[in-house]
Amino acid sequence: MGVGGILTTRGTTIAVIPGDGVGVEVTDAAVAVLRAVVAQRRWSVTFAEFPWGCNYYERHGRMMPADGLETLARFDAILLGACGWPTVPDHVSLWGLRLAICQGFDQGVCVRPVRLLPGVESPLRGGDDRTVNFVVVRENAEGEYAGVGGRAHRGLDSEMAIESMVYSRRNITRVVRHAFELARSGPSRCLVSVTKSNASQHAGVLWDEVARAVAEQFPDVTMESELVDAMAARLVLRPDSVHVLVASNLHADILSDLTAALAGGLGVAPSANFNLERSHPSMFEPVHGSAPDIAGKDIANPIGAILSAAMMLDHLALSEGALSIRAAVARTTTAGILTPDLGGDCTTRQVTDAVIAHLA
């Protein structure tokens, strides 16, 4: 199967980058579930693992080889665990691996869906799978994470740092259009576009103008505009009024952590970084980080990584397997098989084994 999701004689190839910390544990879990699904359906899927990340950095001075993108380009999809470790500065680990792949492969749209799972309690009073059911669509290539800027007069009292937001009509258009398409397929057919355009008089205003122009192409979808601070309050006070929201790189990053928290925690949240043109592979990863404080304890929640694998199967036109995974996860949480972050006492391995057992 090539990047376009069309079956070929060579089958499907998936690059696996466990990364750092709990990334290794949850990626192992996701791959175990994928292997079980593949075996059940006798699909031709192969996995290749790459030990890139902070351990690689400490040995080689970089997060992945110089030809890392060239290597990954040969695969149909990428499964990433997490990147980051206390021995490597966060900006080095992030830019050296995840952002290098996202920008190098023009993965311009990040989709982060989250829904309250059965058997999981939301911190919201009265929260259920109808009120806690969100899709955050994130501009993923530029915005506040474009990497444009620099520092001057280092070490002096006059030292300064400049970080420039970069918003382009092209990227705003494609991410907002993708969000409209998702909203069109949902029950409410409503989309909330989030900015801070009262303060961001150039970038934020451009976003609002482009969003309104795209909205004209989707007359069957209602679009609302909301400031990011008001959106944060609305997600807590009126979560049932929001299903699909679209925002810039930074704003959507923050809001997706909030939506995940409302669903029980970051451990349940999947994400996908899409190259919409399918000219390069897309990448799938849980929303959470490497969590050094619990790494190696076999208590990391594998659900976010497993559901990210389900998103990957959807992208590869293997949706039958994706549906099976999501149903198995729901059966597992319904049975109360939960890791400590969700109030349970099960290990990463126990949750993974339960999901595999429920795949039938």
Residues with catalytic function: 145, 196, 229, 253, 257
CA–CA separation, 117 and 325 (whole Å): 13
In the three-class reduction of DSSP (H, G, I as helix; E, B as strand; rest coil), residue 50 is classed as coil
CA–CA separation, 354 and 70 (whole Å): 37
CA–CA separation, 15 and 74 (whole Å): 9
Token pair, residue 230, equals 């008001």
Who's near 152: CB < 8 A, 6+ residues apart? 159, 160, 162
Query: 192 forms bridges with which residues in the sheet?
Result: 224, 245
User: What is residue 325's DSSP assignment?
Assistant: H
Q: Which of 271, 241, 229, 221 is nearest to 131 (CA)?
A: 241
Start-end of H helices in 95-227: 99-104, 169-184, 203-215
Q: Which of 151, 138, 126, 104 is nearest to 282 (CA)?
A: 104
Residue for token pair 């980058």: 17
